[in-house]
Amino acid sequence: MKKKILICGAGGFIGGHLANHFLVNSEYELVCADIKPEVNWFQIFDKNKNYSLDLKNYENCIKVTEGAEYIFNMACNMGGMGFIENNKAECMLSVLITTNLLRASVENKAKKLFFSSSACVYNAVKQLETFVPGLKETDAYPAEPEDGYGWEKLFSERMCRHFTEDFGLETRVARYHNVYGPLGTYGGGREKAPAALCRKIINAKLNKEKSIDVWGDGEQTRSFMYIDDCLEGTLKVFNSNFTDVFNVGSDEQVSINQTIQTIEEIADYKVEKNYLLDKPKGVRGRSSDNTFIKQKLNWSPSISLKAGLEKTYKWIFDDISKKDKISKFTKY
């Protein structure tokens, strides 16, 4: 009998890619769940059991976890900086998803649950300058995470730890650092910076515009991780014997201005930058310290920012270039 894997948030960006990974592996029976109607999932999976339901509801969690040995919780209400700074309560309600999935996993005797956390858990004091030292896993405490979204992730990490201690449920946790790539959102307010910047430069090129809007002064820094690296790191953490929290992120720290320059080179199109200093900017600087995951799992991301952006740019360009998309995204 095939092992049953449940992916919660399978209609989203990372969850969709993870579901596709398991879908091509005949060793597993795949079950997918997401709050969105199936027609709105980023990737459609028609060869397995799919559920469109709200996992903040405990009974729904009981339903989808029935018979599942392994559970990946990729579900949460989140988006780019504009979304998480203006929807803190909505972001924090995602703690109900994790809490109810943990309870249902114990009730239905699942073997292991993976929780997708975030670099937003890290102490803000360590992210006040542009180019800062990479954040180590221990830098989450003393706690001062991103308000709203970061607190939800940090609390959920602790819930996983205590469900392991109190109920014997195996849990694994990875802190993702700014994941990007094809088959995700690139407009509407929930997109991350790489997708947003690709979209803006593509629209400028298609419409022969000279400038794009940039939130902040462009000197804020991040490390961006391509989706293929994210999946590989996720499976490394999940399949390990370690219950420690791991960073899963790139240590290639770049400014937003540098990211724009890389996309300009890919697009072969230069733009002027209109800096909007009153827009949400997040922390001043952030990147991943990968010392711990290298030591314990002998792994770190391998795809460069430019290589990942080339693939992402091409997918967004092809998608936007469709006649029904050009007018839809030129205004943002």
Predicted pLDDT at 102: 98
> For tokens 């991040």, what's the residue?
222
State which residues of the chain have pLDDT below 50.
325-332
Is 233 in the same domain as 282? no
Does residue 310 lie in a domain region?
yes
Q: pLDDT, tens digit, for every residue of 111-133?
A: 999 999 999 999 999 999 999 99
Cα 18 to Cα 7: distance, rounded to the nearest angstrom = 8
What single-letter DSSP state applies at residue 109?
T
Predicted pLDDT at 323: 53
Does residue 297 lie in a domain region?
no
Q: What is the CATH number of the domain that holds 262?
A: 3.90.25.10
Give phi and psi for 151, each to the nearest 5: -65, -40
Is 63 in the same domain as 84? yes
Predicted pLDDT at 327: 39
Predicted pLDDT at 25: 76
Secondary structure (3-state) at 260: helix
Is 120 in the same domain as 65? yes
Cα 148 to Cα 321: distance, rounded to the nearest angstrom = 36
Cα 217 to Cα 255: distance, rounded to the nearest angstrom = 10
How many independent structural domains does the chain possess?
A: 2
Predicted pLDDT at 331: 32
Is 198 in the same domain as 172? no
Q: pLDDT, tens digit, for every residue of 22-78?
A: 988 778 899 999 999 999 999 988 878 999 999 999 999 999 999 999 999 999 988
Predicted pLDDT at 98: 98
Does residue 295 lie in a domain region?
no
Does residue 133 lie in a domain region?
yes
Does residue 320 lie in a domain region?
yes
Does residue 294 lie in a domain region?
no
Does residue 116 lie in a domain region?
yes
Is 215 in the same domain as 272? yes
What single-letter DSSP state applies at residue 288?
B
Cα 64 to Cα 250: distance, rounded to the nearest angstrom = 33
Is 126 in the same domain as 267? no
Predicted pLDDT at 80: 81
Domain that holds residue 167: 3-179+226-248
Is 68 in the same domain as 195? no
Is 195 in the same domain as 322? yes
Active site residue 149: yes
Is 60 in the same domain as 133? yes
pTM to 2 decimal places: 0.94
Does residue 296 lie in a domain region?
no
Q: Which of 51, 122, 149, 226 is catalytic?
A: 149
- Please spell the DSSP secondary structure of 116-138, one letter per residue: EEEGGGS-GGGGSSSS-PPBPGG
Q: What is the CATH number of the domain that holds 47?
A: 3.40.50.720
Is 195 in the same domain as 104? no
